[in-house]
Structure 1
Amino acid sequence: MALTLEAVLGLATVSFLWGVTNPLMKKGAQGIERIKSHSITSQFLNDVVFLVRNFKYMIPFLINQCGSLIYVVVIQQTDLSLTVVVANSLTFAITALTGIFLGEKKVHRNTYLGIILILLGTTVCCVDKMDSSS
């Protein structure tokens, strides 16, 4: 399958939506560890109720799921081997950058090096697919 500009933009959008919302969902779920129940079923239900009632979790979650819908559309139009690699690697990089922005933890310089290598590798994969489909 040919890699089009629309597919690249779709993958970038998916990665952005997933990457930005992952740390926000983590932040929104804070406090769930304090919920204790007497059975596994009760624990599960209480956890779900806590998350559903928590708008700081639900808003990023719903945006994240919009990214998943776009992913399903993009995956139908592009080569699966490229789609998975690009979406997951860029999501990782964007999650790391968002975490840095939110002040989650002090970042080691290797993290920045890893992000640069991810972006370079993703670019090489996309350029290779564009060249081979022409």
Structure 2
Amino acid sequence: MEINQLLPFIAVGFIWGVTNPLIKRGSCGIQANTKKANNKLHQAFLELKFLVLRWQYILPFLLNQSGSLLYVYFLQDSEISLAVPITQSCTFLFTTLAALCLRERIPSKLTFFGIALISIGINICIASKL
């Protein structure tokens, strides 16, 4: 697998990773801003209505879903044994960095240690395929 085959999966990991904390932030207040319904179906409708009408939620959600479309598109011509771990680990890395930039939480030392281990593992996988 060449570097130009890895870049689309790193890009998808970036899209997913950056949009994850934005989706979380956009859904804040769903319980406080939706009235309680008598049945679960009506409650689900009220919550869905709340989310669809919030641009802070719907915009990152649509961007995240476009990343999913890209992922499926690029996956058809790639080696799945490399594509999946690369994309998922990049998603984890970029989610952590985006949450840090948004001041959601300060990652622990163990988080950074885990990121380092994942990076080493992916490099081993890539090296074994070359």
Name the amino acid aligned to 1:85. P
Give the corresponding residue for 2:98.
98
State the alpha-carbon separation in 2 of the partners of residues 82 and 5 from structure 1: 12
Q: What is the TM-score normalised by the length of structure 2?
A: 0.91
CA contact (8 A) 2:12 2:87 kept: yes
Please give the residue correspondences for 1:102-117 in structure 2 after superposition, counting only pairs within 5 Å: 102-117=102-117
Give the corresponding residue for 1:14.
12
State the alpha-carbon separation in 2 of the partners of residues 94 and 11 from structure 1: 13
Please give the residue correspondences for 1:1-134 in structure 2 after superposition, counting only pairs within 5 Å: 3-34=1-32, 35=34, 36-129=36-129, 131=130
Moved more, 52-61 or 75-84: 75-84
Match of 1:78, SS state, is coil
Aligned-residue CA RMSD (Å): 1.3
Aligned length: 128
Match of 1:77, SS state, is coil
What stretches of structure 1 move > 6 A for 4+ residues in a row?
none
Name the amino acid aligned to 1:86. I
Q: What is the TM-score normalised by the length of structure 1?
A: 0.88
Q: How far did 1:65 drift?
A: 0.9
Name the amino acid aligned to 1:20. V
